[in-house]
Each structure stands twice: as structure tokens, then as C-alpha cells.
């Protein structure tokens, strides 16, 4: 029997409506969490569009734009799953230039990206401001790890199967496995979306999976 496949637009509108019902006033931060192959960037952009269509101001940031430069990494050797999971991202910068000032509201400026991947160097800050009512969506890997859990008003986990091992597991794929084992992001998320079919994402519930 073919499984029912909801329309992407309907699922995004429903999720946006749920979030905005609770956080439509003031500032709120939403995490779109998932493995390196889950499609978090595309999903975050589509969710932001659904919220904008509902008349709300939305900003989107990626954890990839808050990586540490190679010079600041603890390990200067070849990337491993452990080093990528433990030391790839600069959460202190994320908090200092984006999360905290965004929450401060008012005229406080915030920065949506702090790392230039092409140059492997800090990115000159581009300061943004917003009105009193705004949503910030942060997408990427490892967002429901314990040290970040208190940053989000609402978090989404994009559930996809692990890719088949073809010629060896990459450091990022190995880091995904470490994260799943250590942080249990499915349990930490407010909403779980089965995103194996990106054109038909489907809301699922932990006790039914």
C-alpha cells in the first residue's frame, strides 16, 4: 500500500502556523537540526518563506557560517569524526554576535555569518537589526547538543536514513553518528519531520516511530 504523501506547502504552512501561534510576538529563535545529508538549509529557507507569507519578519542563519578557522582548531591534522563533532564550530561566537544580540531586541545589531569558507578566515561583520517582532531560524548540524539546547524556543529534527557507506564514511558522517549517540536529538526536538522525500516532508511523532 502506498504511503500518503502530504504536500510540502501544506506541511510547511502547518509548521509555520504552530510556531507563530506560540512565538508570533516578540523575538524567537527556531533551530532546524539534522544530519549533514538531511537538507536543513533547503527546509529552513522554505519554512522562512512560509512565515514571511504569513506576514512575519524572518532571518535565516547557518551553523556552517560559524565554523572555526583551521588555525583555531585544536587539531591541525586530518579531520576525523571526533574532531569535527567536538571542534568544528565556534559556538561562543554564534552566541555572542547572533543569539544574544538578537534576543536583546531593540536596536542591538546582530550578525548572520562570521566565517568565510573560501578564505578560511573570519568574515567582516555585517550588522543587522530588526523590529520587536522577528523570528530567527538557525539551520545545520548538532543544534540539539546539550550545550546549545537552551538557545532555541523551538527546534525541529529532520529525520532521514543514514546514507549507505560507499567507499568509506566521511568525517561528517561519522560525526553525525556520534551526535545521534550522545545527544539523542530526536528526543530533544519539539517537532520531528520525516524528510527522506524532500518534496513531501511528513510530520511524525517520537512515540510512533
C-alpha–C-alpha distance, residues 56 and 209, integer Å: 33
Range of the domain at 51: 28-162+169-208
User: What pLDDT band is residue 123 in, cutting at 50, 70 and 90?
Assistant: very high
User: What pLDDT band is residue 4 in, cutting at 50, 70 and 90?
Assistant: low
> Percentage of the chain surpassing pLDDT 70?
92
User: Exposed, middle or buried: residue 2 (CB in 10 Å: 0-12, 13-18, 19+)?
Assistant: exposed
CB atoms within 10 A of CB 22: 11
Whole-number pLDDT of residue 1: 39
For residue 6, is it within any domain? Answer: no
C-alpha–C-alpha distance, residues 117 and 206, integer Å: 36
Domain harbouring 70, CATH code: 3.40.50.300
Give the pLDDT confidence of 135-192 residue by residue, as tens digits.
999 999 999 999 998 999 999 999 999 876 655 678 999 999 999 999 999 999 999 9
For residue 153, is it within any domain? Answer: yes
For residue 51, is it within any domain? Answer: yes
C-alpha–C-alpha distance, residues 179 and 79, integer Å: 16
For residue 1, is it within any domain? Answer: no
Eight-class DSSP state of 166:
S
Contact 32, 139 (CB under 8 A): yes
For residue 19, is it within any domain? Answer: no
Coil, helix or strand at residue 169: coil
C-alpha–C-alpha distance, residues 131 and 102, integer Å: 10
User: What pLDDT band is residue 206 in, cutting at 50, 70 and 90?
Assistant: confident
For residue 22, is it within any domain? Answer: no
Whole-number pLDDT of residue 7: 85
Q: How is 124-142 classified by DSSP, letter by letter?
A: PP-EE---SSEEEEEEESS
C-alpha–C-alpha distance, residues 192 and 175, integer Å: 20
Structural domain count of the chain:
1
Bridge partners of 29? 136
Amino acid at each position: 500500500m502506498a504511503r500518503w504523501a502530504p504536500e510540502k506547502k501544506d506541511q510547511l504552512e502547518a509548521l509555520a502556523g504552530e510556531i507563530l501561534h506560540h512565538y508570533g510576538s516578540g523575538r524567537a529563535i527556531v533551530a532546524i537540526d539534522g544530519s549533514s545529508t538531511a537538507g536543513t538549509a533547503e527546509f529552513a529557507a522554505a519554512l522562512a518563506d512560509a512565515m514571511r507569507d504569513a506576514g512575519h519578519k524572518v532571518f535565516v542563519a547557518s551553523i556552517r557560517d560559524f565554523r572555526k578557522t583551521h588555525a583555531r582548531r585544536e587539531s591541525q591534522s586530518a579531520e576525523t569524526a571526533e574532531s569535527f563533532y567536538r571542534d568544528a564550530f565556534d559556538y561562543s561566537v554564534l552566541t555572542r554576535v547572533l543569539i544574544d544580540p538578537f534576543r536583546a531586541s531593540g536596536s542591538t545589531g546582530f550578525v548572520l555569518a562570521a566565517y568565510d569558507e573560501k578564505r578560511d578566515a573570519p568574515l567582516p561583520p555585517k550588522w543587522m537589526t530588526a523590529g520587536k517582532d522577528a523570528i530567527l531560524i538557525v539551520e545545520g548540524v548538532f543544534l540539539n547538543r546539550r550545550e546549545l539546547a537552551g538557545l532555541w524556543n523551538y527546534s525541529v529534527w529532520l529525520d532521514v536514513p543514514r546514507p549507505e557507506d560507499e567507499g568509506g564514511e566521511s568525517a561528517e558522517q561519522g560525526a553525525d553518528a556520534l551526535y545521534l549517540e550522545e545527544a539523542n536529538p530526536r528526543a530533544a526536538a519539539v517537532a520531528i519531520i520525516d524528510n527522506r522525500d524532500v518534496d513531501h516532508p511528513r510530520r511524525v511523532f517520537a512515540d510512533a516511530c
